[in-house]
């Protein structure tokens, strides 16, 4: 896991290998993932300052370097709502979920669909969504001679533009190409 993953809420699409362990458990893994030395994201050369004090960074123990997981495989981060829409309208799944995968043998067909979505405007229309701005309902409740007025929350949805749908399709096409080339699953979580 990369540090960024801790900060992101939402869904990540990527590619991975399905392995069966000796005890029969099936696990997904990223064959290109490895640990690499990187500059510590929390300090400057191992030192942190707090007011006038300078002290050794606790995260990297003052070395200024940390080992982080890195990977060459393409990935795509989206909000949960967009992740669900991608599964429904691009991947064609009837029951979108917070995690799932598509096996290598089904990818050539998906690749054709994505290729059309990238190149034919009309094939992206089902995923467009107009922005909405709805003021919640007002409700009044009476208790004795006191009336309490509650106003529902304002719900704003930024919608989904053609540019956004196009960028999902392009990114997924890269992912599927990479998966086909390396005989991997496309998976999300």
Q: Which of 40, 169, 173, 187 binds Zn ion (CB under 5 A)?
A: 40
Nearest 5°: phi and psi at 46? Answer: 90, -5
163, 12 Cβ separation under 8 angstroms: no
Output the smallest distance, CB 121 to Zn ion, in A.
48
Minimum distance from residue 22 beta carbon to Zn ion (Å): 38
- The reply on whether position 58 binds Zn ion by CB under 5 A is no
114 binds Zn ion (CB under 5 A): no
For helices 162-182 and 107-119, the axis angle rounded to 10 degrees is 150
Q: Would you say 56 or 75 has its CB closer to Zn ion? A: 56
Per DSSP, the residues of 59-119 read: TTTTSSEEEEEE--S--EEE-HHHHHHHHHHTS--SS--SSEEE-GGGHHHHHHHHHHHHH
Among 57, 172, 179, 186, binds Zn ion (CB under 5 A): 57
Among 11, 14, 15, 43, contact with Zn ion (rule: CB under 5 A): 43
Q: How far is the CB of 132 from Zn ion (least distance, A)?
A: 44
Which region, judged by CB under 5 A, interacts with Zn ion, from 43-51, 76-84, 147-155, 180-188? 43-51
Does 59 bind Zn ion (CB under 5 A)? Our answer is yes
Rounded distance, CA 21 to CA 102, Å? Answer: 20
Minimum gap (Å) between residue 52 Cβ and Zn ion? 19
Name the β-bridge partners of 55. Answer: 48
Q: Determine phi and psi for 176, rounding to 5 degrees.
A: -65, -40
Which of residues 40 and 110 has its CB atom nearest to Zn ion in the complex?
Answer: 40
User: Which C-beta is closer to Zn ion: that of 57 or that of 175?
Assistant: 57
Query: What whole-number distance in Å separates Cα of residue 162 and Cα of residue 178?
Result: 24
Name the site residues for Zn ion (rule: CB under 5 A). Answer: 40, 42-43, 57, 59-60
């Amino acid at each position: 896991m990369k540090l960024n993953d801790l900060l992101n809420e939402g869904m990540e699409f990527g590619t991975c290998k399905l392995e069966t362990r000796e005890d029969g458990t099936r696990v997904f893994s990223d064959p290109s993932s490895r640990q690499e030395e990187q500059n510590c994201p929390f300090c400057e050369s191992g030192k942190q300052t707090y007011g006038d004090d300078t002290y050794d960074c606790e995260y990297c123990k003052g070395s200024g370097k940390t080992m982080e997981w890195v990977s060459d495989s393409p990935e795509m981060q989206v909000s949960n709502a967009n992740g669900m829409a991608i599964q429904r309208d691009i991947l064609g799944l009837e029951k979108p979920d917070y995690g799932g995968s598509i096996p290598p043998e089904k990818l050539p067909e998906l690749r054709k669909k994505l290729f059309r979505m990238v190149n034919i405007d009309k094939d992206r229309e089902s995923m467009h969504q107009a922005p909405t701005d709805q003021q919640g309902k007002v409700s009044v409740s009476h208790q004795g001679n006191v009336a309490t007025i509650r106003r529902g929350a304002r719900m704003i949805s930024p919608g989904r533009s053609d540019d956004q749908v196009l960028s999902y399709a392009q990114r997924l096409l890269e992912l599927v190409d990479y998966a086909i080339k390396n005989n991997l699953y496309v998976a999300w979580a």
